[in-house]
Structure 1
Amino acid sequence: MKITSITSIITRPPIRHPGKLGVGDLVSVDAVIVAIETDAGISGVGECSPWAVFAENAFAIKATIDNYLAPALIGETPFNIEAILLKMDAAHYGSSFAKTGVEMAVFDIVGKALDCPVNQLLGGLVRDRISLSYSVTNQETQADLEESRWLLDQGFKVLKIKTGVLPEREELIRVEALRKLVGDDFDLRIDFNQGGRREQMTRLCRQLEAFKPTFIEQPFKGFDLDAMAALCAVLDTPIMADESVLSWDQGFQVAKRQAADIISIKIAKMGGLLRSKKVAGMCEAAGVPCYAGAMWESGIGLAASLHFACSSPAIKYGSDFYTANYLMTDDLVVSPLAVSDGAIFVPTGPGLGVEADWEAIERYRVAV
């Protein structure tokens, strides 16, 4: 079986509301859909959904796939996924999001060809579901509380409040109000998205510890591992690295320098499923627990992330896999991912286990 064509499509499916983060505002989902055809008649689909304020952008990703990655892979067998990764690296440096979308579609093909779900190609399941953490991004206390009440009604057992945008006093008011709403025993996390300042963070985080957060995520710029390590050393609350791990090799540096107590693994940052598994294995060996992060993917990308997270013992803190079911008002798959009691289930069908909704993809297609 050989790859005969690789195409990419930029889509912009609708969302309920924008997100306001420490790193910048997110006003839309730009999902790049990758379709791969083979001479055996088996096709695969993948997705990468970048945040322009965070990493790559959709138009650059499409250009990378169309002009560099696709030409390098025509005629290759999908079964040699490690070799495909090396060929993509040789064709274009970096571009982990673009490579993730392509590799995801390749995994979909291989799973369909072997009549098994992708998680079986990654070592098999250690769980069949993973808890959902929803990110509260309104930056206004009453709006936060209103949305959080709705989320509790939906069965969520984990919430993450996005900080790093407002003045210090207002941040404390928001977190305190949310803690009062959910109760002392509820799993509440805090995420600065790099929005913290060195001169304030030790004091502010010690004040935030009074509200018993499960962890505090990415208080400093991703490159500032010295500040991350120093804060880890003085706080009782675990610090999680996200933007400090924008590639699979950076995960090693964060663990080596003890710059985080927890590492967030997003398959798009790592360059795909295989490299995410390598980072998870490295963290497991180093005794660093992980979180299954996500961008704002549709059910296509989240299905792939579920196969990774549910086959990785290192994932101990749940997932960000809520967007397709709770943020988007129209998904890009025919049948939504299964959710129940605050958890989302890994698909069981061959390949990714989801069917792309090509009518929806065309409906939200962005002209290039």
Structure 2
Amino acid sequence: MRITKIAVYKFSIPMHPFTIATGTMEYAQNIFIRVFIEDGSYGVGECSAFPMIVGETQATCYELAKDFAGLWKKKDARDIEGRMTELHQYTAFNNTIKSAFDMALHDIAAKQAGQPLYAYLGGKLKSLETDLTIGIDSPSVMAEIALEFKSRGVRIIKIKLGKNAMEDVERVRLIRTSVGPDPILRIDANQGWNFEEAAFALQEIGHYQVQFCEQPMRYWDDDKLPALKKISPIPIMADESVFSHFDAKRLIQAKACDYINIKLAKSGGIFEAGKINEVCEQNQIYCMMGGMLESRLALTAFAHFAIAHNNIIFYDMDTCMLGHKIDPVVGGVKYNKFFLDIPASNGIGADADEGFLEHCEHIMI
């Protein structure tokens, strides 16, 4: 199973602007790859660069993908750990583009095994219900959106916060008043608060039945998380603070969080994400499966990974519902309202639409 060639595409997806505490995304800065092996078959991978979080752009991912493709030519696609070690030795960080290459190898492996990816990873088919996220806007507009979500049958609402602590409290108050007691509310500050703001906001928002808060402070304030966790009435979920299983160990040992959000764009792919989940499971820390702004292709891989790991009990799987104007994917996961139906075909079970790819900048190496 030698790798013969790799195709790399700038997989840009137009979208309605989406705002979080650290910035606004005007389009999904994605990369799509196909890794071909000797029999002519291939595995697919996709990643979504989110510069404000991972420090990568579509341009940096595209250039590094060319280098990675050169490193892998004529190498064995079955040795996933070996191939990923080569990428880690070639360059530090850059986990987002690494995750696309990792995904493609797992797709190949599952296809060769004649199994859906979740089965290849040791899982069994089960139901996943995603939340739906409200980007930052005025409190009144966000409350209107939340009410519209409820009317559509959304049962779990994720609220982006982190611009202004006082306004954030009002955002959550108005949303809870608008939707009533039934919908589950989650909040995500995306590192937007300092310690004092986080302490104030969490204590006030604690009155409004919130399931957890993601990443209240900047990752460089991780040393303050244990103190914040002690005074917060809302459980803390680490996100931007955890890129690797070493990060997970560090936070868990410090008693700094209640939950951890796993994203392939942070971990560098399925291989390392599995290690993060293992550390969490060993320490009774439940996880959430999240993403950036990926299409349904990568989202399908996320769903396979999530159902293969029972320690993942929260699902933030709405990436392509957050304003994507087009759906350039064939096959893949389907939304049944806000439940995800995962394909039973071998591998990931999704591919990019050929008509869309014709208009994408690309290179074959």
TM value normalised by structure 2: 0.94
- Match of residue 127 from structure 2: 129
Tell whether the 8 Å contact from 1:141 to 1:174 is kept in structure 2 after alignment: yes
Q: Which one is further off, 141-150 or 20-29?
A: 141-150
* Secondary structure of the structure 2 residue equivalent to 1:194: coil
* Pick aligned residue for 1:246 from 240, 243, 246: 243
- Match of residue 6 from structure 2: 6
Superposed CA offset, 1:328-362 (max 9, x none): 12112124622224221222211101132122233
In 2: Cα distance, 1:118 partner to 1:171 partner: 40
In 1: Cα distance, 2:351 partner to 2:362 partner: 21
Residue 121 of structure 1, CA deviation: 2.1
Greater strand content: 2
* Pick aligned residue for 1:266 from 263, 268, 271: 263
- Match of residue 186 from structure 1: 183
Give the residue type in structure 2 aligned to 1:8: V
* Pick aligned residue for 2:282 from 258, 281, 285: 285
Residue 214 of structure 1, CA deviation: 0.4
* Secondary structure of the structure 1 residue equivalent to 2:198: helix
* Pick aligned residue for 2:206 from 206, 209, 212: 209
RMSD: 1.8
In 1: Cα distance, 2:240 partner to 2:273 partner: 15
Q: Equivalences for 1:97-112 in 2 at 5 Å?
A: 97-112=96-111
TM value normalised by structure 1: 0.93
Give the residue type in structure 1 aligned to 2:63: A
Q: Which runs of 4+ in 1 moved over 6 A?
A: none
Residue 323 of structure 1, CA deviation: 2.4
* Secondary structure of the structure 1 residue equivalent to 2:32: strand
- Quick check: 1:324 aligned with 2:320? yes
- Match of residue 310 from structure 2: 313
* Secondary structure of the structure 1 residue equivalent to 2:35: strand
- Quick check: 1:173 aligned with 2:170? yes
In 2: Cα distance, 1:273 partner to 1:96 partner: 11
Give the residue type in structure 2 aligned to 1:116: Q
Relative distance call for 1:348 and 1:59 in structure 2 (3 A) is same
In 2: Cα distance, 1:196 partner to 1:281 partner: 30
In 1: Cα distance, 2:39 partner to 2:229 partner: 52
- Match of residue 72 from structure 1: 71
Superposed CA offset, 1:257-293 (max 9, x none): 1111110000121111121111111101101111111
- Match of residue 120 from structure 1: 119
Identity %: 28
Q: Which one is further off, 261-270 or 336-345?
A: 336-345
In 2: Cα distance, 1:150 partner to 1:202 partner: 30
Relative distance call for 1:169 and 1:223 in structure 2 (3 A) is closer
In 1: Cα distance, 2:134 partner to 2:187 partner: 10
In 1: Cα distance, 2:186 partner to 2:357 partner: 33
In 2: Cα distance, 1:153 partner to 1:330 partner: 24
Residue 184 of structure 1, CA deviation: 1.6
* Secondary structure of the structure 2 residue equivalent to 1:216: strand
- Match of residue 351 from structure 1: 347
Q: Structure 1 regions of 5+ residues with no counterpart?
A: none
Give the residue type in structure 2 aligned to 1:73: W
Residue 363 of structure 1, CA deviation: 3.6
In 1: Cα distance, 2:318 partner to 2:301 partner: 14
Residue 324 of structure 1, CA deviation: 2.2
In 2: Cα distance, 1:276 partner to 1:235 partner: 28
- Match of residue 228 from structure 2: 231
Give the residue type in structure 2 aligned to 1:122: L
In 2: Cα distance, 1:100 partner to 1:25 partner: 23
In 2: Cα distance, 1:366 partner to 1:64 partner: 13
- Match of residue 149 from structure 1: 147
